[in-house]
Amino acid sequence: MIAHADTIPPARHPLVSFILRWVLTTNHKEIGTLYLCLSFALFLIGGLMAMVFRAELAQPGLQFMTADFYNQLLTLHGLVMVFGAVMPAFVGLANWMIPMMIGAPDMALPRLNNFSFWILPFAFFLLLSSLFMEGGAPNFGWTLYAPLSTTYGPPSTDFLIFGIHLMGISSILGAINIIVTIFNLRAPGMTLMKMPLFVWTWLITAFLLIMAMPVLAGVVTMMLTDRHFGTSFFEASGGGDPLIFQHVFWFFGHPEVYIMILPGFGIASQIIPTFARKPLFGYASMVYATVAIAGLSFVVWGHHMFATGMPLATELFFMYATMLIAVPTGVKVFNWVATMWRGSMTFETPMLFAIGFVVMFTIGGFSGLMLAIAPVDFQYHDTFFVVAHLHYVLYPGAIFATMAAVYYWLPKWTGNMYDERLGKIHFWSAVIGLNLTFFPMHFVGLAGMPRRIVDYALPYAGLNLFATLGAWILGLMQLLFLYIVIKTIRGGEKATDQVWESAEGLEWTVPSPAPHHTFDTPPRVE
């Protein structure tokens, strides 16, 4: 039979083929790469916003912007960093690594995986486009407090609400995919208690996502109906209560901060044993501690609201619950330190980032315990002390952990070793930048400098200048990180299959670079 000319598919342009390959891919490694690229791009955008408003705060008085624009940048910085930089980065790592760690050929629901990624660029386009709309971007802080976001919010708030819905859908679909993959596609012989800790922490994070994200979706929908459909959920004159908003938001918001930190715990638990050349100390207690943190994360939200006039018994409950959640977290820190104890340690870049994570996350944890003491919180509340605490937990906890993971697995992904010298420069500049930025904030906060305000009194000027210098170092050094990653992708010293001397786990049994398809026949785990 002769094929007619019109039935032969026309040859596609190479660029079209390239675009279609990436848009339509269902391969977990490619989707993982897409997530990581998107999160890094948004990380740079969120970081640029921070550098701009830190430049404003370098000196007292108004230098570069109006108070309204400052508030817009502040709001978008929070939203972009939480939903755009941290969460997609961890989902990208999960996509890349979980199938390889459990000996699965791919994620359980590959098409859903593709869909849950491609929702995100549109969500962030909606969010960032609000900067160019009439009335400007949302300007009420990333916590979206009513009535600032309902009665007084700019018209672009609706785009923010729609964007958050899309991000929430993406997160929930991604979480379902991860749970199904872990439960159904583990290699024969891999029981739950033989899973790597990164897989464990992500399994628990996925359950947190499924429980927390619908609450956020609910509360932003109530904002929408308050704005346009005449309801009064958060409007006191109509019988509502703005405090309800805070309660519902933080019921999502506190599990959310653990969603952003648990995968980081998992990464540290992979890296530290490798470079300490010892098995992880207390594997079972690490798993139980993670479950305990996840359970308790739903009963501590009120510590954000000590100053709102809660009944004394309620304040006491939240205060003790918050102190209680410090116990399983302390167990984890103890286990990491015990793993390093008397190990034959070497300090490659992933290990440096992992140790930096443990040390600075612990500092952030201690300032969190200070904030948990209700009577003292009245002094700290809404000052820069809270900003210092938040960033000491989140930056090392999420960003350092992600960077440690990239340095740790990049040789496996690309087949090339990264430049160790440049990696160490990146680490030390990040540590100096981080501490220079956020450490002074503890002191200006204790002295009473309020957060989210564009101008400040003269006595705070010296420390603020330090913080701005640190922020600029921190921001500019991320370009070095980008350079290191691109340089590694393009070539360099070839990595072995094992990459690291004492790395354990299924992902190190596949060749470097990792083939497009891994584990067509599942490996047996003894």
Residue 163 burial by Cβ neighbours in a 10 Å radius (0-12, 13-18, 19+): buried
| H or E element, residue 489 | helix 461-490
> What is the DSSP code string of 38-86?
HHHHHHHHHHHHHHHHHHHTTSSS--SS-HHHHHHHHHHHHHIIIIIII
Which conformational region is residue 80 in: left (phi greater than 0), alpha (psi within -120 to 50 degrees), or beta?
A: alpha
Catalytic pick from 304, 381, 389, 442?
304
> Three-state DSSP class for 343?
coil
68 in active site: no
Which conformational region is residue 235 in: left (phi greater than 0), alpha (psi within -120 to 50 degrees), or beta?
A: beta
13 in active site: no
For residues 472 and 485, what is the distance between their CA atoms, to the nearest angstrom? 21
303 in active site: yes
Catalytic pick from 329, 367, 468, 512?
329
Task: Count the alpha carbons within 13 Å of 475 in the hemisphere toward its beta carbon.
Answer: 20
Q: How far from 486 is each of 37, 92, 117, 489, CA to CA, in Å?
A: 11, 17, 22, 5
Q: What are phi and psi of 382, to 5 degrees?
A: 60, 25
Asked if 414 contacts 464 with a C-beta cutoff of 8 angstroms, the reply is: no
DSSP-derived secondary structure letter, 494: B
Q: Using alpha carbons, select from 409, 392, 422, 383 the residue that is nearest to residue 507.
A: 409
Asked if 464 contacts 440 with a C-beta cutoff of 8 angstroms, the reply is: yes
232 in active site: no
Residue 298 burial by Cβ neighbours in a 10 Å radius (0-12, 13-18, 19+): middle
Catalytic pick from 29, 332, 389, 391?
332
Catalytic pick from 409, 451, 507, 508?
451
170 in active site: yes
Catalytic pick from 39, 181, 205, 269?
269
Catalytic pick from 256, 315, 348, 377?
256
Catalytic pick from 254, 278, 412, 442?
254
304 in active site: yes
Instruction: Determine the straight-line distance between the first and last CA of the chain, rounded to whole angstroms.
Output: 55
Residue with tokens 């891999």: 190
Which residues are CB-neighbours of 180 under 8 A, at least 6 positions away? 108, 109
Please give the torsion angle defined by the CA atoms of residues 153, 155, 160 and 162, in that order, rounded to the nearest 10 degrees. 130
Residue 251 burial by Cβ neighbours in a 10 Å radius (0-12, 13-18, 19+): buried
Catalytic pick from 39, 150, 170, 297?
170
54 in active site: no
Catalytic pick from 149, 171, 367, 512?
171
332 in active site: yes
CA angle 234, 240, 244 (to 5 degrees): 60
296 C-beta neighbours (distance < 10 Å), count? 20
For the record, the structure tokens of 397 come out as 């906890």
Catalytic pick from 258, 283, 408, 418?
258
Please give the torsion angle defined by the CA atoms of residues 21, 25, 29 and 31, in that order, rounded to the nearest 10 degrees. 110
Residue 196 burial by Cβ neighbours in a 10 Å radius (0-12, 13-18, 19+): buried
Catalytic pick from 29, 227, 278, 303?
303
39 in active site: no
For the record, the structure tokens of 105 come out as 């050929």
516 in active site: no
142 in active site: yes
For residues 5 and 21, what is the distance between their CA atoms, to the nearest angstrom? 25
Catalytic pick from 30, 56, 106, 315?
106
77 in active site: yes
Residue with tokens 């972009």: 80
Catalytic pick from 70, 96, 142, 301?
142
Active site residues: 77, 106, 142, 170-171, 254, 256, 258, 269, 303-304, 329, 332, 451
